A and B are shown apart, each in its own frame.
Chain A
Amino acid sequence: MSAAGGGGAGTGGARGRRDAVALRLEGVRKSFGPLEVLRGIDLEVGEHEVVCLIGASGSGKSTLLRCMDLLEPIDSGRIVVHGEEITAPGVDVDRVRRRIGIVFQAFNLFPHMTVLRNVTLAPEKVLRKDPREAEAEALALLERFGLADKRDEYPDRLSGGQQQRVAIIRALAMRPDVLLLDEVTSALDPELIAEVLDVIRELARQGMTMVIATHEMGFAREIADRVCFLDGGVILEEGPPERIFSAPREPRTREFLRRIVEAGRL
């Protein structure tokens, strides 16, 4: 969208090209009881684009991501993935979710399964892959992100950083078109954050389309093609990270960033 003027295009070099739209939100609204959390969200995410959602706690970032994966039904508006409206009545939500991966703040690994089984479950049961093929692919992913030696461990034997990396691998094993990351480092001890961010950097390099809700402003500035500032349930301002972080236009954005700087987070 060009709401904030020229956002998106041309940033981040070749990766920033917006040749096709992966995900489009039009006037998305969502209330929980009397509380209207999303008050008309318009957002377009190009293929291979990395969009970071920033904003204070309660600004609607997590809800927005959960709506994109249909984990929360929206009240009005439309969500379109690669040209298909996934919020239309009668859409098979299970089929939609195969194309969209989401990683949660609290990892949500399955505690009764080994690391390997966590990763192979959905490819086997949902994509009906041959178990040996699913296992080979899972092992290749674990290998790539340095977790091959943990294949037979149970999640509670891993550090938070390792658990979150497994959760990301679990989502990747479904080969999603879009990956949604919901504050994936917020539950981690500071020394474990870097290993998770490295994984996300690697994915961005390979052209994974991602929407990332984050409090890590330095990381957002580094990795995002576009940054969206959420405030009061709307995208108040969006644009390339250099502009949003160095020359925000909206007073609310300026105040949010000032508080972040004061807290030493930027």
Chain B
Amino acid sequence: MRPPGAPVEPGPLPAPPGDRRARLLGGGRPRREGARGVAVAVASTAVFFTAAAVVISRSPGWPAIRAAFFHGGVFVESFPKVLERFGRNVFIFSVAEVLVLVLALVIAVLRTLPGPVFFPLRLLATAYADLFRGVPTILVIALLGFGMPALRLSGVPSSDTFWAIVALVLVYSAYVAEVYRAGIESIHPSQAAAARALGLSRAQSLRYVILPQAVRRVVPPLLNDFIGLQKDSALVAFLGGVTEGLRQAQIIVAATFNFTPYVVLALIYVAITIPMTRLVDWLVARERAQRETGTAL
């Protein structure tokens, strides 16, 4: 379902996935050779894509593919319907993201509690992270979405949207908690020592000194996880009870025997993901620039 690229394991921070790409795209590189470089880039891009277009459009199966996946009429007809239903995905992942930010922080803090007294809490938090990082997201959605309403407990919501949000929050909090924890552990212990030496309690030094610095450092990997979450909101289609973007596309595909609605949905996802990835790249570049001026002094 989801390529396992999105989660960011704890490690040396910041671990900027957009970093290398930003550099390759020319962000912040010397400008003197700029004009010539741009010309070469434009020329090679044009050559590559022209060649690719020629090869693909000359292939024997192309007319059939074009009719099945890039049908102009179906495109125009399905676009507004899929887009409208995609609003449900936006609702699901927006609510989930807010909840993930909070729950993941709680779990991360629990995992960093010191001393034997807090062992049960640490154990629970660790078990939680292990469990929900191990089970495929679609299984969590299926188990909760089909299972919980079937219990028919009074007070337990039966809405697919509700359980989809719960499932996404549970899975992604496990990942984001690790991101937070890596951030917390990347703050040098001397900062905690300085805070505690001033008489701040453990909770106060975490709140005023450690977390503000840690969260700032993990914004890029955190946004990366959110991109994964947004895409995984399509897995809700599996439950069938809520007509979100993918479900709507499936319905039209079934009615028209044409796959163009999938392409429509793919384009919508790309359209909301690209600004997010650019934002991540920009944040990474900005943080690096700040670090460099910081150490230069």
Q: Which residues of A contact B (CB under 8 A)?
A: 69, 71, 93-95, 97-98, 101-102, 104, 106, 108-112, 121-122, 125-127, 156-157, 170-171, 174
Known: A156-B294, A156-B297. A111 touches B200 (CB 8 A): no
Q: Return the chain A residue nearest B212 by Cβ.
A: A112
Check B200 against A102 for contact (C-beta < 8 Å): no
Check B213 against A97 for contact (C-beta < 8 Å): no
Check B199 against A104 for contact (C-beta < 8 Å): no
Check B191 against A110 for contact (C-beta < 8 Å): yes
CB within 8 A of A110: which of B194, B197, B204? B194
A200→B72 CA distance, assembly (Å):
79
Within 8 A of A (CB), among B38-95: none
Check B199 against A98 for contact (C-beta < 8 Å): yes
Q: Return the chain B residue nearest A71 by Cβ.
A: B193
CB distance from A251 to the nearest CB of B (A): 36
Q: Which residues of B contact A (CB under 8 A)?
A: 190-191, 193-201, 204, 208-209, 212-213, 216, 294, 297
Known: A156-B294, A156-B297, A157-B297. A125 touches B200 (CB 8 A): yes
What are the residues of chain B within 8 A of A71 when measuring CB–CB?
A: 193, 196-197
12 A–B contacts from the bound complex (CB under 8 Å): A97-B197, A104-B194, A110-B195, A111-B213, A111-B294, A112-B216, A121-B198, A122-B200, A126-B200, A156-B294, A170-B198, A171-B198
Q: Return the chain A residue nearest B201 by Cβ.
A: A94
Known: A108-B191, A121-B208. A94 touches B200 (CB 8 A): yes
Check B193 against A104 for contact (C-beta < 8 Å): yes
Known: A104-B190, A110-B194, A125-B204. A95 touches B297 (CB 8 A): no
Check A122 against B297 for contact (C-beta < 8 Å): no
Q: Return the chain A residue nearest B197 by Cβ.
A: A102
Check B213 against A112 for contact (C-beta < 8 Å): yes
A24→B294 CA distance, assembly (Å):
41
Check A122 against B198 for contact (C-beta < 8 Å): yes
CB distance from B187 to the nearest CB of A (A): 10
A97→B200 CA distance, assembly (Å):
9
Q: Return the chain A residue nearest B194 by Cβ.
A: A108
What are the residues of chain A within 8 A of B197 when measuring CB–CB?
A: 69, 71, 97, 101-102, 171
What are the residues of chain A within 8 A of B212 when measuring CB–CB?
A: 112
Closest 7 CB pairs of A and B: A108-B194, A122-B198, A98-B199, A126-B199, A156-B294, A97-B199, A108-B190
CB distance from B248 to the nearest CB of A (A): 45
CB distance from B240 to the nearest CB of A (A): 48
Beyond A69-B197, A71-B197, A122-B200, 12 extra complex contacts between A and B, CB < 8 Å? A71-B193, A94-B196, A97-B197, A101-B198, A108-B190, A109-B194, A110-B194, A111-B294, A122-B198, A125-B204, A126-B200, A171-B198
Known: A106-B190, A108-B191. A97 touches B216 (CB 8 A): no
CB distance from B197 to the nearest CB of A (A): 5
What are the residues of chain B within 8 A of A126 when measuring CB–CB?
A: 198-200, 204
Check A94 against B199 for contact (C-beta < 8 Å): yes
A112→B195 CA distance, assembly (Å):
13
What are the residues of chain A within 8 A of B208 when measuring CB–CB?
A: 121, 125
CB distance from B296 to the nearest CB of A (A): 9
Check A122 against B199 for contact (C-beta < 8 Å): yes
A174→B190 CA distance, assembly (Å):
19
What are the residues of chain B within 8 A of A102 when measuring CB–CB?
A: 197
A108→B199 CA distance, assembly (Å):
15
What are the residues of chain B within 8 A of A93 when measuring CB–CB?
A: 196
A71→B195 CA distance, assembly (Å):
11
Check B194 against A174 for contact (C-beta < 8 Å): no
CB distance from B225 to the nearest CB of A (A): 23
A125→B294 CA distance, assembly (Å):
28
A197→B145 CA distance, assembly (Å):
68
What are the residues of chain A within 8 A of B190 when measuring CB–CB?
A: 104, 106, 108
Check B199 against A174 for contact (C-beta < 8 Å): yes
A125→B209 CA distance, assembly (Å):
12
A98→B196 CA distance, assembly (Å):
9
A109→B20 CA distance, assembly (Å):
32
CB distance from A3 to the nearest CB of B (A): 29
A170→B208 CA distance, assembly (Å):
15
A71→B197 CA distance, assembly (Å):
7
What are the residues of chain B within 8 A of A121 when measuring CB–CB?
A: 198, 200, 208
CB distance from A91 to the nearest CB of B (A): 13
A161→B190 CA distance, assembly (Å):
19
What are the residues of chain B within 8 A of A108 when measuring CB–CB?
A: 190-191, 193-194
